């Protein structure tokens, strides 16, 4: 499902115009991005959590140049679904 399809679905189910739904959805996504970039997790009870995971430093190989490189420690965003969400998808 794309963002446009989500906007259309919400607009159809709520009766709110598409532009308002799109603006709200964009604001939500920006809030999540801002929180994660500030190392703050976002918890949505019954849905899941947007969390920041730390990846440890590791050594990798560049096969074409036959060299090793060091990939520094870095943060990545992740999503952890709530138990109720996971169970509803399993059905």
**Tens-digit pLDDT profile for residues 37-68:** 999 999 999 999 999 999 999 999 988 988 99
Q: What is the CATH number of the domain that holds 76?
A: 4.10.520.10
**What residue numbers bound the domain in which 51 lies?**
3-90
- Count CA atoms closer than 13 A to 76's CA, side-chain side: 8
In 4-87, where do the E strands start and end?
Answer: 42-44, 48-55, 58-62, 67-71, 74-81
Number of domains comprising the chain:
1
Model confidence, pTM = 0.79
Q: What is the pLDDT, as a whole number, of residue 23?
A: 97
Confidence of residue 26 (pLDDT cuts 50, 70, 90): very high
Q: What is the pLDDT, as a whole number, of residue 91?
A: 75
Q: What is the pLDDT, as a whole number, of residue 80?
A: 96
The secondary structure element, H or E, covering residue 89 is helix 83-90
């Amino acid at each position: 499902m794309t963002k446009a399809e989500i906007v259309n679905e919400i607009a159809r189910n709520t009766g709110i115009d598409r532009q308002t739904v799109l603006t709200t959805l964009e604001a939500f996504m920006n809030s999540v991005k801002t929180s994660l970039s500030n190392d703050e997790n976002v918890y949505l009870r019954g849905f899941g959590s947007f969390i920041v995971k730390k990846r440890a430093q590791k050594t990798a190989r560049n096969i074409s140049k036959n060299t090793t490189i060091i990939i520094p420690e870095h943060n990545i965003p992740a999503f952890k679904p709530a138990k109720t969400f996971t169970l509803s998808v399993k059905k």
